[in-house]
Structure 1
Amino acid sequence: MAALHNFQGLIGIAAILLLAWGLSENRSARPGWLWIGGALLAQIAVALVVTRVPLVWTLVGFANKGVAAIETATLAGSSYMFGYTGGAPIPFLLKPGEQPPVIVAFQILPLIIVFSAISALLWHWRVLSMIVRGLSWILRRSLGVSGVVGLAGGATIFLGVVESPLVLRAWFARMSRSELFTVMVLIMSTISGAILVLYATTLSKTVPNAVGHMIVASLISLPAAVLVARLMVPGEAASGTGHAEPELHYESSMDAVIRGTMEGVTLVLAVIGIIITVFALVNLVDQVLAFLPVVEGAPITLRRAFGWLLSPAMWAIGVPWDQAPAAGSLMGTKAILNEYVAYLDLAGLPAGTLDPRSLLIVTYALCGVANLASVGLIVSTVATLSPERRPEVAGLGMKSWLAGNMVSMMTGAVIGLVTWS
């Protein structure tokens, strides 16, 4: 039984691929079996190499130390600006056993601002742009994608929902429908560097080496996103780009720092606004659901409803059935509301709710920005950059949301396959 449990995720992977093909705009034009097998193999290979080769995982682990250094540096700035609410020593005595308060807006969210500025500076110095070009080359050589899709895949690892399209602005008018959808799914299926730091810091006490795991999750999601996108919207490349160069430029190092900081501030304000709104909406829905009869000794809540609805899906990707309701609740929260809220809920779960393997599967399955708010962001951004594609991108918005969640769940299933228990 234990051996069968280790391969449970194959059920989820098969179901996701069948669903993607079933929702295809042209089922007869699906990619060849050899290409599909290669894309699946690429996901498993990345997961195996990174998690099972000690040297590679050690190198990835340096990212955790880097984030810890950035966190320490950020607290120096936030404590100066916000005092003890930003991390400075508290000016009063705590009760015995009481911990200092952690105020998310003043101690954790400033990480986004600092990392956004550092990312812009590294882009201007061509460090990140060289890494993006390298990832683009790997995707083009391994999966045969066009230059613009390869560039999108590399950029989404570091840039967010709004910033990634800016790198591709020159090609939106020339992309085929298939390329456009693939770019949208790539954006939906990964998380940017600044958001990665925020989420990993939130999970640092729950998931060891959270930064490394989230980097791996985005890498596994790249071939998965291309695979699911090609099954749902098949087609040939039409942009004519065997190689594409990023369009993002800064005038100087100081310009990069200033613009990166301002982009980070905008993102922090957006995160604060979304979190406040999401928690308020959840509370309103729960107040309405409170009028329904009590089930199993507890009132029905939105999170419980998500758990019931998505339990079979989470079981299929490798989570044991007794833990599937908790995992389904988190996945529903991520898909409908926001992945940061889901990670906050994950960090707040009682000890023992998820076993270590299930915790890892869920962490990977939540690692993507495919939520309803992101649909509006990506549609409005691409439509602004290429007004002539507005009707088309609007029509693909919800489809990219569904595909993005399918991809992140497939990524969770893959990490479950290589994590034996």
Structure 2
Amino acid sequence: MKYLVAILGVLVVFGLTYAASNNRHKIRYRPLFVMIALQVVLAFALLNTSVGEFLIRGFASIFESLLAYASEGINFVFGGIANDKTSPFFLNVLLPIVFISALIGILQYTKILPFIVKYIGLVLSKINGMGKLESYNAVASAILGQSEVFISVKKQIGLLPKHRLYTLCASAMSTVSMSIVGAYMQMIEPKFVVTALVLNLFGGFIISSILNPYVVTKEEDILEVQEEEKQSFFEMLGEYILDGFKVAIIVAAMLIGFVALIALINGIFDGIFGISFQSLLGYIFAPFAFVMGVPWSEAVEAGSIMATKMVSNEFVAMLDLAKHTTMSPRAVGIVSVFLVSFANFSSIGIIAGAVKGLHEKQGNVVARFGLKLLYGATLVSVLSATIAGLFL
């Protein structure tokens, strides 16, 4: 039964994407089938094999060690603030972003990350049939973050036509940055975080290839990565540490605002209609949860969490998921994979603002197709969760 539901889920995603396609005649189906097959193989390997278990355990243990090191700095500054046996979200989940951001800066400064990202991007461009720039950007987004990635290709931003700019922005919204992966792993199981990271990479290409198909000519297929301004090692380190702290503060501020607003709206809806706003949204998203593989008896509950992610952000939704202790492991796994992306309304503003900061005209272009960006990125999450559901 779950295989039939998964096939239905993939067909629904393809149908919704095809219906909104810019140019259906230019869709190239061969790369799509190759990437879907790759998603299935990778999901099986990560979730159902000893090799996948070993890789996920290794990835998770690296982040566990990093978080332990991060806690040394956090305890030095904030030790004694928290009560015994308590686990403040800001201290334990968000502040480690500062340390991981510093490590990313070091890997960037030593040219290790640019080398890895560039050549993984070149390999991907052979698989997905897209340009080198698009493939580089998808990998770089997962490392650098959805706004920072545009700085690395700022030389080309102003020269890109609308359709190529859309693909770059779609990649940034469909993935998550490595600096906050450790935070996710403290909220949901690491295997679902890793699986989502891998599946979303290919899912972004699949959805963009249908929603926004085009062919990049050899003359256009140029990748110009902007070298960062030459800084001393400690200048760079200070910059990345401050950037990490800004991210932690921004996420904390958004959590305070969104959690409070959702509580207020739930209270108003409950008082007037006898049903919370999240429960109402749950009914709207329930069919999508079902085609992803969530049992129908839990579809409304899962749909509520999915909707929370889209109208607020993935952190709020992950906190909400933790409260649903009666959900089956299968439903939790599928919803967890869905939550690992930046597909929410606030990301439209973040991405448009990042591009506008580099090129005002192109930033306005991004703002105009913002809702289509969110539509595509949400379908990427649905596709990834559906494929993962085959093996849960």
- Segments of structure 2 that go 5 or more residues without pairing to the other structure are none
**Is 2:165 aligned against 1:186?**
no
Residues 155-234 of structure 1: matches in 2 within 5 Å?
155-203=140-188, 207=189, 210=190, 212-234=191-213
Counterpart position of 1:116: 101
**Is 2:281 aligned against 1:320?**
no
Mapped to 2, the partners of 1:127 and 1:379 lie a distance apart of 29
Letter in 2 for 1:9: A
**2:354–2:363 CA contact under 8 A, matched in 1:** no
The structural deviation recorded for 1:15 is 0.6
The structural deviation recorded for 1:28 is 2.8
**Is 2:142 aligned against 1:146?**
no
SS at match of 1:267: helix
**Is 2:309 aligned against 1:334?**
yes
**2:156–2:224 CA contact under 8 A, matched in 1:** no
Provide, for residues 341-373 of structure 1, a one-character-per-residue CA deviation record: whole Å limited to 9, x for no partner.
0011112222xx222222211111111001111
**Is 2:390 aligned against 1:417?**
yes
The structural deviation recorded for 1:390 is 3.0
Counterpart position of 2:334: 361
C-alpha spacing 1:305/1:33, structure 2 compared with 1 (3 Å) = same
C-alpha spacing 1:135/1:60, structure 2 compared with 1 (3 Å) = farther
Mapped to 2, the partners of 1:151 and 1:65 lie a distance apart of 27
**2:130–2:215 CA contact under 8 A, matched in 1:** no
C-alpha spacing 1:406/1:248, structure 2 compared with 1 (3 Å) = farther
Counterpart position of 1:387: 360
Letter in 2 for 1:410: L
C-alpha spacing 1:75/1:310, structure 2 compared with 1 (3 Å) = same
**Is 2:267 aligned against 1:287?**
yes
Counterpart position of 1:97: none
Deviates more, 1:172-181 or 1:248-257: 248-257
Mapped to 2, the partners of 1:246 and 1:354 lie a distance apart of 45
SS at match of 1:8: helix
C-alpha spacing 1:248/1:195, structure 2 compared with 1 (3 Å) = farther
The structural deviation recorded for 1:278 is 0.2
Letter in 1 for 2:92: Q
C-alpha spacing 1:364/1:239, structure 2 compared with 1 (3 Å) = farther
SS at match of 2:79: helix
Residues 74-153 of structure 1: matches in 2 within 5 Å?
74-85=70-81, 90=84, 100-153=85-138
Mapped to 1, the partners of 2:267 and 2:54 lie a distance apart of 47
SS at match of 2:158: coil
Structural RMSD (CA): 1.9
**Is 2:318 aligned against 1:343?**
yes
Mapped to 2, the partners of 1:113 and 1:239 lie a distance apart of 40
Letter in 2 for 1:363: S
Letter in 1 for 2:234: M
- TM-score of the superposition, structure 1-length normalised? 0.88
The structural deviation recorded for 1:46 is 2.2
Aligned partner (choices 276, 280, 283) of residue 305 of structure 1: 280
Aligned partner (choices 346, 358, 367) of residue 373 of structure 1: 346
Aligned partner (choices 5, 14, 24) of residue 17 of structure 1: 14
SS at match of 1:179: helix
Counterpart position of 1:400: 373
Counterpart position of 1:39: 35
Mapped to 2, the partners of 1:63 and 1:340 lie a distance apart of 21
**1:85–1:106 CA contact under 8 A, matched in 2:** no
Aligned partner (choices 243, 246, 249) of residue 269 of structure 1: 249
C-alpha spacing 1:239/1:255, structure 2 compared with 1 (3 Å) = farther
**Identical residues among aligned pairs (%):** 22
C-alpha spacing 1:106/1:270, structure 2 compared with 1 (3 Å) = same
C-alpha spacing 1:230/1:177, structure 2 compared with 1 (3 Å) = farther
Mapped to 2, the partners of 1:176 and 1:147 lie a distance apart of 15
**1:148–1:241 CA contact under 8 A, matched in 2:** no
